[in-house]
Structures are given as structure tokens and as C-alpha cells.
A and B are shown apart, each in its own frame.
Chain A
Amino acid sequence: MKKEITCIGCPMGCRISAVLDENGKIVSLEGYTCNVGKKYAQEEFTVPKRMVTALVRVHGQNRPLSVKTAKPIEKSRIFDCLKQLESCTVILPVHAGDVVVPHVCGTDVDIVATREMY
């Protein structure tokens, strides 16, 4: 099976194509122009991952806190992750980098605050 993706490693946006076998293993890969692109393509063709940035409830406020996954998580888990964040409430003060939810959705990835809020 042949698949094509757009590399997002940099603004170049290289088109990378891969031939995959029936188990989803990459047989051949072409179109990348750097190691970042190669690595991205290998992951994107097998286990695509995304950084997730989101908003969470702050106790006593309408204004939300911005957060992110400390590392990319599997693309297929994005909405599970958002779902889990819906039920989360943080109490101020919060500092950038503070862990808001550890091991989101049972992964090894923490949700951390991306800003200060007092």
C-alpha cells in the first residue's frame, strides 16, 4: 500500500511517500530531505503523534488556563485526552510547566501548564 503525507518538520512541507506492507510496516520511504523529515515520516506512517494544546477550567474563574502535552501523544488519543481535561479543574496559582494532569489517558505523557496564572 502506498501512502503520502506532508512533512511538517519545517515550513518546507515536503511531500513524503511510503510503501507499507500488510502489517503497516514501512517498506520504502521517499521524498524527505532531512533527518527530521525522515523521523517524522517514520512515525507519521506508523504511529502518528501530535502535541495537544488545550484549555482547562480554573476554579472560581471563567477564564481558562492554557496547557499542553509535555510530549506528543498518539493522534488517535487526542479526543480522549481532551475528554479527560474537561473534568479537570486547576486551583491558582499555576506556573508554566506545572503538571496539571499526570500520565494523561494512561500514557506516559503529562499535561503541563503553558502560562503563569495568579
Chain B
Amino acid sequence: MQKRLVYNLMVDVIVIGGGAVGCATARNLSRFRLKTVLLEKASDICEGQSKANTAIVHGGYDAKPGTQKAKYNVLGNRMFQKVCSELDVPLKWNTSLVVTFSEDGIEKLEQLREQGRQNGVPKLSIIGRDELFRREPNLSREACAALLVETGGIVCPYEFTIANAENAAENGVRFCRNAEVRKVSRDETGFWTVESAAGTFTARAVVNCAGLYSDRINNMVSEEKFHILPRRGEYYIIDKRYADTFHASIFQLPTKMGKGILVTPTVDGTILIGPTAEDIDDRDDTRTTPAGLAKSLKFGSRTWEHIPLRDVITTFSGIRAHCDKNDFILGEAPDAPLFFNAGGVESPGLTSSPAIGEFLAGLVADRLHAEPNPNFQPVRHAIPKFREMDAAQREKAIASNPDYAKVVCRCETVTEAEIREAIRRPVGARTIDGIKRRTRAGMGRCQAGFCTPRTVQILSEELHISPLEVTKFGGNSKLLQSYLFTKGEDDHAQR
């Protein structure tokens, strides 16, 4: 059994939720002299909508002017370069294109451009066929014009979220995973009590970054209620071999036929197709469906005519925390002092997260009269990636750590050194999926067929647990049933 730690801590701030917004908020809180704990219900951070989205740093033309979405999208976009540089997270300004397949869409593109201008998005232009195909020669010939968003980019959403978390942890934030929040209440002295699966905490302030569950947390303490309407989107990932097929992230201009499906390269070289949009009841229902997958392909093929189905790496679904207020709910709840919300954060939540985190942390610090943390270290170093090293760097890496010479994941060339470090780091990996998201081991063509036995073994060694207790993503997601033969009694005694 894994040990369950029971905390009963008095802290300054509790952040509920370890997604992109929660981790960015935690990192920004660590800029102040505040004792902060982040509670995450899943077995790892970045297990909700932050792990399964379009991975795009949006320009900000899409949201209605005057909304929080518009404001924080544009602010977040401007911050992304600096944050990614500090956190050593790959970011690519590959531009976005909103493509129309009919001439009468051009007018709508112009409206979008105008909306973007109002939101403060720079460098928006409409490009015609020639320019469009010069940029994207593999785009369907049906395309006739596009809005070019030069400030559009791509980032790996889990790498970004985990980097924020690691940096926050290095600066003193404590992370508790498997800590589902059950009750939030405020006592007569004004302190907040948060009861979680990992124990009860007392805090001066609470920040609700609970994503798909942000309504439930808010509605426990505030009469200003809102409701999350979970919306599922299904995606395809296509092999790296097609990395050069498209350069920009290609959106389709919304039509009567629907919002359209995005086709975009990822920073890791694969191509992502999706998402669909389906309102569902169960916020954890991350199933893929025949209808959803078919729709992704059908609409995706308007942009990419011949999607190579033989080279599908995987399919997945993600659930967006769409809110009945149709906007982000940010700031202190009017009827709950020192309870702060980042509620209903859906797309463009990833892009907005640095700005939301900065805003909320600033607000909390202000209300708690917190001093700046003089020891705050903004720089985080990524796990050195063997696959990105040149020969000299590889030689050096192996010399300093021979585990770099042991390639565990063949498809993505991930070494044992990287996997062990992913486990040993602050807020380290505890599961197979945790390793996958921190190192890409198992994300390639064989989808962990070859590396699973080895990663199970490494996790078991590093965490001092039996291989039978290793899980894919916590809970009962165990990989293995039992030993065929256990060692003899005397051997047990020796252990």
C-alpha cells in the first residue's frame, strides 16, 4: 500500500486544482512570502482538461471584446515567451490560420480580424489563395482565404503545466496529489477549512482552480453560483512523419455546419486533429466514441484531404469546463472574503493561464499583505532530453550519468536517466502516464508496447513499491495482476 499522508496544516493559501491555471497560480504565489499548498484530486497534476486540449497559444481574436476571455488571452499570449524561456518549455510561434472554404466567408474573416483588433491582437491580416498555399502547400485546394494570426503559437500543455508546478515546488509550494476536496468552509475567525482526501487544511485564503469542478467548489461557499457544462472534444494524433505537412495551426471558419475542426502541428512534431464539441453530463467521461472520432476525421479532412489513417498514433478526448456564464470567472467571490475563483476556465485557458496566475496571485498577496519572496527563483530547467542532444552533448550526458546510455522508449528515444529524473523531481511522476507526460516515453508509434515492462520496473525501484502496485494513472488503474510465482518465504524475510 502506498502511504497516505494526513496533513493538518495551517497555511496561507490553498490552491485547489493542479491544472494549467492552478500550477501557474501556485508558481506566481511563490513569488510572495506565502505558505502555499496545492491540492489535486487526481494521482498527478495535469490530469484534467490541461492534458487534453489543442495545445495552442491562441492569438486572441476569437473571444468577444470586453470579456475576461479576450482580456486574459491577449495578456497571456504576450507573457508566454517569457514564461516559457524561464521554465525551459519548448514554444513555437508557428502562427494560426483561420481558413474559409467559400468566398462568402471572407467577410466573416474580416469581422474576426476586427474583433481581434478590438481585443488588442497585433499583426492580423487576411491572406488570399496564393499566399495561403505558399505558406501551406498541403492545405486542401478548397480553401480560398484565411485570417493570418502571426501571434499564434504551439506549446506542450502538460510540459508547460508540469514546469509551472516544478518551479512552484522549488520555490516552496507544497503539492498534495490524491487530495480530492470534499468540503470548503469558513469559520467565525475568518479562516478557511478545506477537507480533502489527503487531510484537512486550514488557510487564510483559498484559490479555486478546480477546472471542471470549479463550480462545485465555488458553490460550496458562494451564493454567486455558476455551473459547468462539460463539453467533450475528440482528437486524433498523426505520426511525426507528417511533421512538415503543415506549419501553422489551421482553424476552420465556423459555419452553419459547425465550429470546424482544427489541424495543427504540435511542438513534438505530431499532428493533432480535433476537437469535436459534445455536451455531456459526466465531467469525467473521457471516452472516445465512434461518432466523435468519425466527426473529427470528416471535418478535419476539409483541411487535410487525405488524413493518413495508417499512421494514426492515438485518439483521445478532452473535456472543456464550459461555464453557463460564458466567460471566465476570475477574482474574489463577492460574498466569500479571501476565496478566489478561476472558474469556468476553458479555451483559451492554457494561453490565459500565465496572466490569470499572475492576476490571482497578485490579488491574494495584496489581500493578505504578503511581502515579495526575495528568494524566488523564476528559472526552471527541463529534464535534458537525449533525443535533442548532439553527439558531444550525448557523450557528456552519458559520462555524467550512464543511465543516459540506456534507451528505454525506442520510439521517442527516451533514456532511463530521463525517466528516473522525472520520478525524482519535485512533484515527480508516480504513474506510467506521469512518466509519459514528463518524458514522452510511451507516446510514440508503439504506444508503450516495448517500454512498459521497463518503466514499470523503474517506477517500482524508485518508489520502493511492488510492480503490481504500479498504476497507469492512480486509483485502480493497476497494470498487473499477480506474480505467477512468489519468492520463497525465506527470501521475503531477507527483504
A residues whose Cβ falls under 8 Å from a Cβ of B: 55-62, 64, 89
Contact = CB atoms under 8 A, between A and B. Distances in A.
A9 B487 CA distance: 39
Contacts of B487: 60-62
B486 interface: yes
B488 A64 contact: no
Contacts of A64: 484-485
Contact of B484 (A55, A59, A60, A89): A55
A60 B491 contact: yes
Interface string B288-330: 0000000000000000000000000000000000000000000
Interface in B142-177: none
B466 to A, nearest CB: 10
Nearest to A55: B484
Nearest to B466: A62
Contacts of B486: 62
B50 to A, nearest CB: 37
Contacts of A62: 483, 485-487
A112 to B, nearest CB: 19
8 contacts: A57-B485, A59-B488, A60-B488, A60-B491, A62-B486, A62-B487, A64-B485, A89-B488
Interface string B202-224: 00000000000000000000000
A55 B486 CA distance: 13
A2 B229 CA distance: 65
B491 to A, nearest CB: 5
Interface in B461-495: 483-488, 491
A64 B486 CA distance: 10
Contacts of B484: 55, 57, 64
A68 B260 CA distance: 59
A57 B487 CA distance: 8
Interface string B361-373: 0000000000000
B338 to A, nearest CB: 53
Nearest to B494: A60
Contacts of A89: 488
A58 B486 CA distance: 9
Contacts of A61: 487
Contacts of B491: 60
Contacts of A60: 487-488, 491
A89 B484 CA distance: 12
A44 B358 CA distance: 77
Contacts of A59: 488
A104 B488 CA distance: 23
Interface string B240-284: 000000000000000000000000000000000000000000000
A60 B487 CA distance: 5
Q: Which 4 A-B pairs have the closest CB atoms?
A: A57-B485, A60-B491, A62-B483, A60-B487
Nearest to B491: A60
A55 B485 CA distance: 9
Nearest to A56: B485
Contacts of A56: 485
Given A62-B485, A62-B486, A62-B487, 15 more contacts: A55-B484, A55-B485, A56-B485, A57-B484, A57-B485, A58-B485, A59-B488, A60-B487, A60-B488, A60-B491, A61-B487, A62-B483, A64-B484, A64-B485, A89-B488
A3 B488 CA distance: 48
A57 to B, nearest CB: 4
Contacts of B483: 62
